[in-house]
Every structure is written in C-alpha cells, then in structure tokens.
Amino acid sequence: MKKKLRWVLMACVIVLMTVLWIWQPWKAAPKKTRNGPATARVSLENVVHTILATGKVMPQVGAEVNVGARISGRLDKLYVNVGDTVGKGQIIAEIEKEDLEATTAEKEAEVALVEARLEALKREGPQEIAQKEAELAERKAKLEFVRCKLGRDDQLLKKALISNEDWEETSSDFKAAQAQYEVAQRKLQLANTNFDEGLKQLAAELRRTRASLKNALVKLSYAAIHAPLSGVVGSVSTREGETVAAGLSAPTFVTIVDLKRLQLDAYVDEVDIGRVKVGQKGFFSVDAFPGKEFHGRVTAIYPQAVIQNDVVTYDCIISIDTPYDGLLRPQMTATVTIMVANKENVLVLPVGAVKHRAGQNVVWRRKGDRIEEVSVTTGWQDDTRVEVLSGLSEGEVVLLSPPTDFK
C-alpha cells in the first residue's frame, strides 16, 4: 500500500514540475514598447477623379425590334425559335394567303382588261378620225362645186339666160351642201374629242387598276414576315395555327436582338450627375466575368430622371469599345466607374489626417520634436485621399490622428 502511494506522489511531482517549466512564472514579462502617433508624408501624385454607379447592358436604339404582322389571319408557318440566328430580310413566318392571292389575280385581270380597251381605242380611234376627215373633204369639194355653180347662175340670171326656178334650185343645193359640210366638221371634231377623252379615261382607269393591283401585291407581301435586321431571336410569342388580328398595333411574333450593338446604361446619382460630361471615359465589369473590364465613353445623358424607391438617378449612355462578342448580353448588371477628371502632380494626404476645427481644415505637422497645427485648403477627395491646395509642401510629415490634447 505504501509503495503504491509513493508512486502516486512521484507522478504528481512530475506533472507539477512540467507545468511550472511551461509557464515559467518566475520569468519577467516583456516590457511594452510605446510607439508614437502614426504619421504620413505629403506626396505628389497623379489622381483620377471617379464616380461609381450601377448599370445595365442594354441594346442600342434600333438593335432590338419586335416583329409582328400587318394583316390578320392564321399563322401558317413559323421558321425560327428562341436563340436562332437570323439575317436581315430572311423569312421568319408566313400567314395564310389564299384570299390575298385570289384578290391579286382579280386585280391583274382588271388591269389586263383596261390595257386591252386602251389598245383597241388607240387602234380604232385614228381610223374613225380618218374616215370623218375623208367625209369632210368630200363635203367640202361638193360645197365648192355648188358655190361655183351658184356664181355662174347668178351671172346667167342677170342676163336672163336662166329662169328663176333654176337659180333657186341651185341656191337650195348650195345651202344643203353647206349644211352637210358643217355636219361633217362637227362629226370630225366629235371623233377627235371622243378619241382624246377616251384616251384620258382609259389612262386614268389603267392607273387606278394598277394602283389597286399594287395594293393587292403589297398586302400579299405582308403574308411573308421578314427579319428587319440581323441578330438573334430573343423571344417567340406566337405559334403555328394561331390566328392574329392586326389592329392599331401589329401583334408581335418574335423579338430580334442584335447582340453586336449593345451599350451600357449607367444610373448616376443626382449628387454626381453634375460632374458627368459627354466624352468622358468609363469602364465597367459584370458578375459573369468579374475579372474583365470593358471600356468605353459617355455618349449621351438623358435629361429625364429615373426615380426608384425615392432615389433619383440619371441614365448615362456609355459606348462599349472593348470587344464583347459572345460575352455581354442584354440586362446584365454592371458596376460602373466614370472618370470625371484627371489631375497630375497633386499634393495628397490620407483623408483621416485633415480635421475640421474652428471653421477651418487643419492638420498637425511634425517638425523635428515639435508638433504644430497648420490650416490647409483642401480640394477633391475620395474615400482614402484628399487634395491639398495650400498650407503644406511635398515631403512634410503630418499626424494621422490629432494630438492627445485635441478635443
């Protein structure tokens, strides 16, 4: 029993010695060194003034088109689906067109009929006019013959070589010949008038029927729906067999987007919009490609504000100069940086070194062992740096926090 107790005591002593060796309470604790206040040096740098905004990748104006039908009818064929690539002018859908083809054939027949009547008039009209001219010439010759005879009879009557009955007969023949001549003149005039009027009427009728035929052909062409631009089909809203009714607005079949004509809509806060100008450079990134930057320039600023949840922003259009084919898509959210100014050789300090005291911006400058308060004039600043316009020189050292006696 005693032997067992001795072994237990020895084990406890060993454990106690091990703990004391690790802890070593007899060693003196290291003295804490007391550091002086943190400082910074006034430096000369090139700074770029930027503002941050959120944005969306959007199609340019005219790069997204809703394609619809201009006539009513049943959708007979639909040749595309979402994601298909189409070219400008490609047929993407067809509407039933049997009635349109029948109307077109009817209008073509009307045009052919008027053309035939016009050709007949051009052929028969001059013949009738020539006939009337010949008849007039005949009546004129007979009138001249009777006139000469009446003149001779006038001389013979004066000499009493003929009777009054003979002279009166000749005078009656003259009047009849003159009347027949005048009738022939009116017939010729009427033939010319009828020919001219007939040409005008048939020409007008031909223009009317041709216009009607053109209208029928245009409506027939509406049955085939063509892609107005090259791009990718973004959505399909109508299926084969459905009936569409064209009213004041054409029903949409498909939406086509040209993914090679994209832009960035940056929504700039109203506080910063005054510094944004057309032509300024900018860059952005999207969540799908966080390590890639896309560069461009501000091309337009919308005058109308965008208000969402009582937050006022303004839409700034930024062109995309970096190649983005196959990368960017509409509605992608972007983090945008716009470079509003670029200054070279500017004195800067950490923003925490400048304090506001007694209506002035001050810093505490270290000169040797002394610390003095200096009033400074500041300019632009961001989250980390502030521009010093006056009061300090390059290389001077200032405190990053006020002295202990500053309140």
Angle at 108 between CA 221 and CA 98, to 5 degrees: 45
Distance between CA 305 and CA 40 in Å, rounded?
42
What number is the average pLDDT over the span 306-316? 92
Please give the DSSP secondary-structure letter assigned to residue 277: -
Say which residue the tokens 């009347």 belong to.
Answer: 179
The residues pairing with 78 across neighbouring beta strands, listed in sequence order, are 93
Whole-prediction pTM value? 0.62
Exposure of 328 by Cβ count < 10 A (0-12 exposed, 13-18 middle, 19+ buried)?
buried
Pairing of strands 397-399, 355-357: unpaired
User: Which structure tokens are listed for 182?
Assistant: 């005048």
Averaged pLDDT for residues 310-316 = 93
Q: Where is average pLDDT lowest: 3-7, 12-16, 24-28, 349-353?
A: 24-28
Beta strands in 237-368 (DSSP E): 243-244, 252-257, 262-269, 281-286, 289-308, 311-318, 333-350, 355-357, 360-367
Reported confidence tier of residue 366, pLDDT bands at 50, 70, 90: confident
Ranges of each domain in the chain: 51-59+258-399, 65-92+226-257, 99-221
Say what the pLDDT of residue 44 is: 83
Residue 333: what pLDDT?
95
- Give pLDDT, residue 31: 40
| pLDDT grade for 34, boundaries at 50, 70 and 90 | very low
Label residue 368 left, alpha or beta by phi (over 0 means left) and psi (-120 to 50 means alpha): left
The three-class DSSP label of residue 183 is: helix
In this predicted structure, what is the pLDDT of residue 43?
A: 86
The DSSP code for 72 is -
Residue 28's pLDDT band, with cuts at 50, 70 and 90, is very low
pLDDT at 35 over 80: no
Closest CA to 42 of 342, 381, 363: 363
Residues 387-399 pLDDT 10s: 888 888 888 888 8
Residue 32's pLDDT band (boundaries 50, 70, 90)? very low
Confidence of residue 340 (pLDDT cuts 50, 70, 90): confident
Average pLDDT over residues 262-268: 96
Per-residue CA distances from 72 to 213, 214, 229, 240, 301 (Å): 19, 19, 23, 14, 41
> Span 329-356, mean pLDDT?
88
Strand stretches in 60-141, DSSP E: 64-68, 73-78, 85-86, 91-95
Which band of pLDDT confidence, cut at 50, 70 and 90, is reported for residue 405? low
pLDDT at position 241 is 84
Q: What is the pLDDT of residue 301?
A: 95
Instruction: Report the pLDDT averaged over residues 50-71.
Output: 91
What is the rounded average pLDDT for all residues in the chain?
86
- CATH tag, 51-59+258-399: 2.40.30.170
For 268-290, write each residue's pLDDT tens digit: 999 999 989 999 999 999 999 98
| Amino acid 215: pLDDT | 94
Beta carbons within 8 Å of 323's beta carbon, 6+ residues apart: none
Paired with 77 in beta bridges are: 94
pLDDT at 4 over 70: no
Query: Which band of pLDDT confidence, cut at 50, 70 and 90, is reported for residue 86?
Result: very high
Q: Residue 298's beta-bridge partner residues?
A: 318
Backbone angles phi, psi at 27, to 5 degrees: -75, 140
Structure confidence at residue 19 as a pLDDT band (50, 70, 90): low
At residue 30, the pLDDT reads: 41
Q: Which pLDDT belongs to residue 353?
A: 84
pLDDT in tens, 195-247: 999 999 999 999 999 999 999 999 999 999 999 999 999 989 888 888 887 76
Phi, psi of 286 (to 5 degrees): -120, 160
Q: Is 174 exposed, middle or buried (0-12, 13-18, 19+ CB in 10 A)?
A: buried
Q: Name the CATH code of domain 65-92+226-257 (choices 2.40.50.100, 3.40.5.50, 3.30.420.40, 3.40.1520.20).
A: 2.40.50.100
Q: Report the alpha-carbon distance of residue 83 to residue 147 in Å, rounded.
A: 96
- Residue 349: predicted pLDDT: 87
Beta strands in 60-142 (DSSP E): 64-68, 73-78, 85-86, 91-95
* pLDDT(15) > 70: no
Cβ-based neighbours of 178, under 8 Å, separated by 6 or more: 143, 146
Highest mean pLDDT of the ranges 144-158, 316-330, 379-393: 316-330
Specify the higher pLDDT residue, 65 or 357: 65
User: Contact 21/294 with Cβ under 8 angstroms?
Assistant: no
Please tell me the predicted confidence (pLDDT) of residue 29.
41
Query: What is the spatial distance between Cα 395 and Cα 392, in angstroms, rounded to a whole number?
Result: 9
Look at residue 400 and tell me whether its pLDDT is greater than 60: yes
Range list of H helices, 235-296:
none
Question: What percent of the chain shows pLDDT beyond 70?
Answer: 89
222: DSSP letter: T
